[in-house]
Amino acid sequence: MFLGRNYSLQIELDLTIQETKVKLFRGKFIVTAPGKNEENIRKAMEVWYRERARKMIELKVKYYQKFFNIVPTNIKVKEQKKRWASCTSKNELLFNWRCIMAKANALDYIIVHEMCHMYYKNHSKEFWELVATVIPHYEIRKEWLKNYGVRMDL
């Protein structure tokens, strides 16, 4: 998945290259690899996702910043086994690289959710009211993540 859409995966072997390359082209992921090592292919895919996640998340945080007076101290994309994202006590926003697999409006929900944690470090009524002021009907996006999140992995 990438931005909520499923793509087929095509693996091409090229013994003349050293490093596995990933591209999204004409509706499919094309992975060009020097061999059939599944772990190397998975790692190359993860690097591809991480790069796109970092760029997209930074752009979206910048867009949504107009709704907030607090600015995140840092934005990182990392491995998180059980969460889509988190906000530290120092207002550092940490995002799971897999969230780039979510459709765009679900990714927006994840980002706004964490930005709201800069104000409320809990899931209080006030927290959810703040989320709703930025994304009315956020529940639909939250439900999409609940239903499709299990598919967002390599």
DSSP 8-state secondary structure symbol assigned to residue 103: -
In the predicted model, is pLDDT for residue 152 greater than 90? no
pTM of the model: 0.91
**CATH code, 8-151:** 3.30.2010.10
CA distances (Å), origin 58, targets 55, 99, 100: 5, 13, 12
The pair phi, psi for residue 94, each rounded to 5°, is -115, 125
Q: What is the mean pLDDT of residues 128-150?
A: 94
Q: Is 113 helix (H, G, I), strand (E, B) or coil?
A: helix
Confidence of residue 153 (pLDDT cuts 50, 70, 90): confident
Domain boundaries, the chain: 8-151
Render pLDDT for 9-20 as a digit per residue (tens, 0 to 9): 999 999 999 999
Render pLDDT for 59-103 as a digit per residue (tens, 0 to 9): 999 999 999 999 999 999 999 888 899 999 999 999 999 999 999
